[in-house]
Amino acid sequence: MLATDGVNLLTSCVASNSTHGSITIGTTNSLTGNSNLQFGAVAGFNTGVFTAVGSASGALVGDPVQVTAGGITVIATVESAGVPSDFDLSAGSASRSSPCRSRFT
């Protein structure tokens, strides 16, 4: 992000919040908790190319939820599994890929 010049390359902060989602374990589907994704973006003003810049360990945080599958109850938490990529604003709305994993305790 330090390589941006404010003219040809612009920086911005991107935040996305989801109040719920779902997780399927076997045939059991459960709701997930609130999740929040934050990362930086570098935009090529002349090229229209966007590059996501984020922390591999902390771009995504999620609230833990209780999940029961196969008679076993665990706490499931969604968390980052890498840096967001494929960020695109050209379609009129933001799209991106965010690798994530579920931690069970």
pLDDT in tens, 25-76: 888 888 888 988 888 888 887 887 888 887 766 788 889 989 887 888 989 8
Domain edges within the chain: 9-104
CB 90 within 8 A of CB 47: no
Structure tokens at 31: 């709701």
What is the overall mean pLDDT for the chain?
Answer: 82
Spell out the residues 6+ positions from residue 49 whose beta carbon is closer than 8 angstroms to its own: 43
Looking only at the bridges linking them, the beta strands covering 35-44 and 50-53 are antiparallel
Distances (CA, A) of 74 to 3, 5, 105: 44, 48, 6
Nearest Cα to 75, choosing from 90, 64, 60? 64
